[in-house]
Amino acid sequence: MSCPLHWACDTAPLDAYWRFRLNSFISGAFSLNSFDVIIVGSGLAGATAALRLAQHFRVAVLTKRSLEDGASGWAQGGIAAVIGKNDSFDSHVEDTLKAGAGLCDPEATRFIVEHAPDAIRWLSEQGVPFTLEEGHLHLTREGGHTHRRIVHAADATGAAVQNQLYPKLKAHPNITLFDHYMLVDLITTGKLKQIGKRCLGLYALNELTGEVETFSAGHTILATGGAGKVYLYTTNPDTATGDGIASAWRAGCRVGNMEFIQFHPTCLYHPHAKSFLISEAVRGEGGVLRLPDGTRFMPDHDQRAELASRDIVARAIDFEMKRHGVDCVYLDITHKGEAFIREHFPTIYQRCLALGIDMARDPIPVVPAAHYTCGGIVTDLSGRTDLDRLYAVGETAYTGLHGANRLASNSLLECVVMATAASQYIQATPSSPVSQLPAWDSSQVTDADEEVVISHNWDELRRFMWDYVGIVRTDKRLERAAHRLKLLSEEILEFYANFHVSRDLLELRNLVMVSELIVRSAQSRHESRGLHYSRDYPFTLDKAEPTICPGMDE
């Protein structure tokens, strides 16, 4: 059936299979959810934008699980900001550029760094109980920062922020929350190169009813977080499936620097402990890394041994795991004794103990894990994407701040600063939602009877991305991954075309697309820089260039 509202129907996917759904849209009686601004994602980026915009507009916040689910609540360390007497913006900018290995955008970096004190002020006004010392913000220091500039709330900054923002979000008369609603696709007016192509809203799966609902918006903001779930091991929550990146790319937006995935060296390796970080402080306090036979290996890789930088330690562990064919290595701090361990690492000690690991007596099994997606949807300094009235903020965006490697505690900062900047732009350019959009039509699809295929493909994807596109890359491994992705992509497209959509299917579809972007970007970089390390190109080129993938419809 051809679409009666064709001007509005040329949504993102252009591939034959993706098109199948688009051609089957129908108009007619259906409920249209209509808002001035729709925000997808309820992490720090989405929550900041919602609270800022609700002063002026009717705002909807869609989130695919509960409000609290996302990376923001898990952030332990803190938020970087120049507040200390001897610190300066120049120094914070310099540290960020250095970590980014030549690939940070200096203008974006300065913009975000200079707005950091305002971001902290705003969060304090919201009541976030940052840790104080003698009445002033206590500043801690983290790797890569030359000054004490990390504002924090003990060792649970993200949770402290959420505890203050969420009650306000729930109580605000201008904010409507849609939890368990998952973005399926954006609705746009035409192809990107057409003048005036804009985002009109989106389709979202209501998980409670299984129906796909249509949302019309004057402005749409993607705040969907990162894509750590592409990998077998990750510190990220289950929500981190790159949905925003994949849907913006399908809609024709450029995506940048996807090869730069930050891996944390030590994530607990245990079947019942998904995504639990073993803090770097354990190595800082004398913990050593050992193979299963007890051999210490870090001194063979770097003079600083366990105190080498994150990327070097992660690469060494990956190398040793692959060389010996072992599933994990061990972090041993038993020599410090129970009293010291209990005092310095109470949370880690209790968590390990609950899983039967007494870290005062036994080494902790660990693996490196995907931690942060440095690349994402290309935006300007108002959070604007290539598509008119579509914005991206937080980890899903690529502003140019992180370059080839993220400096610790710059990401929560980016969430607040860029959500604020996008809100200010939207406030200055109000736009009404359209009153008619085509409804989603599922009359030609059936229930999937092979859920096992979807779950098998999830596992397969995450394993081969880990094995072939992880910390150390080669041309051959990338080629293998690209080949597997092609087959997987065909299979998923067929599922998408023939069966009712489910969260697992939609997430897998997005994970496959994001993986394709990572592999394609990694294949095009013929050097090693920052977080991208290739055995075939171990050198760094003189000139640093970002990797920009054109949108799917270009």
Ligand X SMILES: Cc1cc2nc3c(=O)[nH]c(=O)nc-3n(C[C@H](O)[C@H](O)[C@H](O)COP(=O)(O)OP(=O)(O)OC[C@H]3O[C@@H](n4cnc5c(N)ncnc54)[C@H](O)[C@@H]3O)c2cc1C
Select 245 or 360, whichever has its Cβ closest to ligand X. Answer: 245
Q: Which of 310, 351, 509, 525 is an active site residue?
A: 310
* Distances 526 to 45, 259, 316, 536, 541 between C-alpha atoms, Å: 33, 12, 22, 8, 8
Interaction residues for ligand X, span 98-157 (CB under 6 A)? 157
- Residue pair 151/83 in contact (Cβ under 8 Å)? The answer is yes
The answer to the question of residue 223 lying near ligand X (CB under 6 A) is: yes
Select 160 or 478, whichever has its Cβ closest to ligand X. Answer: 160
Sequence-ordered list of residues with C-beta below 8 angstroms from that of 29, at least 6 positions apart, any chain: none
- Residue pair 84/173 in contact (Cβ under 8 Å)? The answer is no
Q: How far apart are CA 348 and CA 212, in angstroms?
A: 41
Q: How far apart are CA 515 and CA 462, in angstroms?
A: 9
Q: How far is the CB of 220 from ligand X (least distance, A)?
A: 12
Interaction residues for ligand X, span 435-474 (CB under 6 A)? none
The answer to the question of residue 409 lying near ligand X (CB under 6 A) is: yes
- Residue pair 390/186 in contact (Cβ under 8 Å)? The answer is yes
Among 78, 368, 376, 433, contact with ligand X (rule: CB under 6 A)? 78
Q: How far apart are CA 397 and CA 418, in angstroms?
A: 9
Among 43, 201, 530, 551, contact with ligand X (rule: CB under 6 A)? 43
Ordered DSSP codes for 27-84: -SS--EEEEEEEEE--SHHHHHHHHHHTTTS-EEEEESS-TT-SSGGG--S-EE---S
Angle subtended at Cα 72 by Cα 68 and Cα 78, rounded to the nearest 5 degrees? 140
Select 39 or 493, whichever has its Cβ closest to ligand X. Answer: 39
Q: How far is the CB of 226 from ligand X (least distance, A)?
A: 6
- Residue pair 287/345 in contact (Cβ under 8 Å)? The answer is no
Residue 169-198 contact track with ligand X, rule CB under 6 A, x = bound: -------------xx---------------
The answer to the question of residue 411 lying near ligand X (CB under 6 A) is: yes
The answer to the question of residue 306 lying near ligand X (CB under 6 A) is: no
> Which residue of the chain is nearest ligand X when measured via CB?
43
The end-to-end CA distance of the chain, in Å, is 26
Select 360 or 381, whichever has its Cβ closest to ligand X. Answer: 381
Among 3, 71, 151, 426, contact with ligand X (rule: CB under 6 A)? 71
Would residue 503 show up in a list of annotated catalytic residues for this protein?
Answer: no
Among 50, 60, 75, 113, contact with ligand X (rule: CB under 6 A)? 75
Residue 240-279 contact track with ligand X, rule CB under 6 A, x = bound: x--x---------------------------------x--
| Token pair listed for 390 | 């579509």
The answer to the question of residue 64 lying near ligand X (CB under 6 A) is: yes
Ordered DSSP codes for 154-195: TT-HHHHHHHHHHHHHHH-TTEEEEETEEEEEEEESS-TTST
From the list 10-18, 253-261, 410-418, 458-466, the region that binds ligand X by CB under 6 A is 410-418
The DSSP call for residue 298 is: G
**Catalytic positions, please?**
310
Enumerate binding residues for ligand X (CB under 6 A).
40-46, 62-65, 69-72, 74-79, 157-158, 182-183, 223-225, 235-236, 239-240, 243, 277, 372, 394-396, 409, 411-412, 415
